Chains A and B, each alone.
Chain A
Amino acid sequence: MSNLLYVGKGTPRTIEVDKVTGRAIYINDLKLPGMLYGKILYSDYAHARIKKIDASKAEVLPGVRAVLTGHNIPDVRVGFLRDQTVLKKDIVRQFRDEVAAVAAISPEIAEEALDLIEVEYEELPAVFDPIEAMKEDAPLIHEVDARGKPIRTNILPLPWKFYAGDIEQGRKNSAYTVKDTVSTTWVNQCCMGTSGCVAEFDMNNDLTFHSQTNVVFLGKQRIMEYLSSIGMRGRNVRVINPVVGGSFGTKLDTDIYEFICILLALRTRKPVKILFSREEEFRALPPRQPAVFTIEQGCDKEGRLTFRKAEAILDNGAYTSWGATTPSVMVMPMSSLYRVPNVSFEATCVYTNNIYCQAMRGYGNPQATFAVESSMDELAEEAGIDPAEFRLINRNQSGDVTPMRLKITSCGLEDCINSVKQKLNWSEKRGKRKGKGVGMGSLIHVAGGARVYKSDGHGMIVKVDQNGHIDVLDGGTDQGQGSPTIISQMVAEALGFRPEDVSLTLGDTGLCLWDAGTHASRHTFMAGNAAVRACEKVKQQILELAVENIPKVVKSGFRRKKRNDPDFVEPDLDYTLISKPEYLDIKDRMVFPKSDPEHPFFRIEVSQIIRDALHVGTGESKVVMAEAFYDPPTEMLDRELKGNLSCTYAFGTTGIEVEVDEKTGEVKILQLFAAHDVGKAINPILLKGQIYGAAYIGAGYGLTEEMKLENGRVMNPNFLDYKMLTAKDVVPVEPIVIEPGDEDGPFGAKGIGEPGLVPTAPAIANAIYDAVGVRIKSLPITPEKVLAALKEKRK
Chain B
Amino acid sequence: MVDYDYKKPKSLKEVFGLLKKYGPKATLIAGGTDVMINIRNRELSPEILISLRGLSDLCYIRKNNGYHIGALTTHRMLEQSDMVRAGLSALHDAASQVGSVQIRNVATVGGNICTAAPSADTAGPLLALDATVALEGPNGRRRVPIADFFTGPSETVRKGNEVLVEFDIPEEPGHFGSAYWKHSRRKAMDLPLLGIAVGLALSESQEISNARLGLTVAAPVPIRAYKAEEFLIGKRLGDDVLVEAGKIASSEASPRDSLRGKAWYRREMIEVFVPRMAKLAAERIRGE
Contact = CB atoms under 8 A, between A and B. Distances in A.
Interface of A: 108-109, 111-112, 663-664, 704, 708, 715-716, 719-721, 723, 725-730, 782-784, 787
Contacts of A725: 186
Contacts of A784: 261-262, 265
Interface residues of B, dominant DSSP: loop
Given A725-B186, A784-B262, 16 more contacts: A108-B2, A109-B1, A111-B1, A664-B269, A720-B191, A721-B259, A723-B190, A726-B186, A726-B187, A728-B188, A729-B188, A783-B185, A783-B265, A784-B265, A787-B265, A787-B268
A279 B96 CA distance: 28
Contact of A727 (B188, B262, B269): B188
Interface string B259-283: 1111001001100100000000000
Contacts of A721: 259-260
A109 B1 CA distance: 8
Interface string B71-97: 000000000000000000000000000
A109 B2 CA distance: 11
Interface in B1-20: 1-2
Contacts of B268: 664, 787
A790 to B, nearest CB: 11
A730 B2 CA distance: 38
B92 to A, nearest CB: 17
Contact of A716 (B186, B189, B259): B259
List the 9 closest pairs (A to B, CB-CB), nearest first. A728-B187, A728-B188, A726-B188, A663-B272, A723-B185, A729-B187, A108-B1, A784-B265, A715-B259
Interface string B162-198: 0000000000000000000001011111110000000
A108 B3 CA distance: 11
A139 B183 CA distance: 41
A787 B272 CA distance: 12
Contacts of B262: 784
A716 B258 CA distance: 12
A335 B110 CA distance: 60
B259 A708 contact: yes
A717 to B, nearest CB: 11
Nearest to B260: A721
A111 B272 CA distance: 47
Contacts of A716: 259
A720 B265 contact: no
A704 B189 contact: no
B259 A719 contact: no
B189 A720 contact: yes
B199 to A, nearest CB: 22
Contact of A664 (B187, B189, B272): B272
A222 B189 CA distance: 40
Contacts of A664: 183, 268-269, 272
Q: Say which size band chain B's interface belongs to.
A: 10 to 19
Nearest to B191: A720
Contacts of B188: 726-729
A191 B93 CA distance: 32
A652 B262 CA distance: 37
Interface of B: 1-2, 183, 185-191, 259-262, 265, 268-269, 272
B120 to A, nearest CB: 14
B4 to A, nearest CB: 14
Interface residues of A, dominant DSSP: loop
A667 to B, nearest CB: 11
21 contacts: A109-B1, A112-B1, A664-B268, A704-B185, A719-B189, A720-B189, A720-B190, A720-B191, A721-B260, A723-B185, A723-B186, A723-B190, A725-B186, A726-B186, A726-B188, A726-B189, A727-B188, A728-B186, A729-B188, A784-B261, A787-B268
B1 A729 contact: no
Among A111, A719, A720, A727, which residue has the most Cβ atoms of chain B within 10 A?
A: A720
B103 to A, nearest CB: 12
A708 B190 CA distance: 17
A577 B132 CA distance: 93
Nearest to B276: A663
Among B2, B185, B187, B191, which residue has the most Cβ atoms of chain A within 10 A?
A: B185
Nearest to B262: A784
A108 B42 CA distance: 13
A704 B265 contact: no
A726 B185 CA distance: 11
A721 B191 CA distance: 9
A720 B192 CA distance: 11
Contacts of A109: 1
Contacts of B1: 108-109, 111-112
A725 B187 CA distance: 8
Nearest to A726: B188
A548 to B, nearest CB: 63
Contacts of B259: 708, 715-716, 721
Contacts of B265: 783-784, 787
A350 B272 CA distance: 43
A716 B185 CA distance: 14
Contacts of B185: 704, 723, 782-783
Contacts of B189: 719-720, 726
A496 to B, nearest CB: 48
A663 B271 CA distance: 9
B276 to A, nearest CB: 9
B280 to A, nearest CB: 15
Given A721-B260, A783-B265, A784-B261, A704 B272 contact: no
Contacts of A112: 1
Nearest to A109: B1
Contacts of B272: 663-664
Contacts of A728: 186-188
A71 to B, nearest CB: 27
A715 B259 CA distance: 8
Nearest to B1: A108
B240 to A, nearest CB: 16
Contacts of A708: 259
A55 to B, nearest CB: 19
B275 to A, nearest CB: 10
A732 to B, nearest CB: 14
A659 to B, nearest CB: 15
B186 to A, nearest CB: 5
A519 B262 CA distance: 39
A730 B188 CA distance: 11
Contacts of B187: 726, 728-730
B247 to A, nearest CB: 13
Contacts of A715: 259
Contacts of B190: 720, 723
A784 B257 CA distance: 12
Contacts of A727: 188
Contacts of B186: 704, 723, 725-726, 728-729
A595 B259 CA distance: 74
Nearest to B3: A108
A474 B75 CA distance: 50
A434 B260 CA distance: 29
A298 B191 CA distance: 45
A568 B286 CA distance: 94
Nearest to B273: A664
Among B186, B260, B272, which residue has the most Cβ atoms of chain A within 10 A?
A: B186
B198 to A, nearest CB: 17
Nearest to B99: A720
Nearest to A791: B268
A280 B15 CA distance: 39
Contacts of A719: 189
A718 to B, nearest CB: 10
A312 to B, nearest CB: 28
B195 to A, nearest CB: 14
Nearest to A724: B186
Contacts of B2: 108
A622 to B, nearest CB: 57
Nearest to A703: B185
A782 B190 CA distance: 16
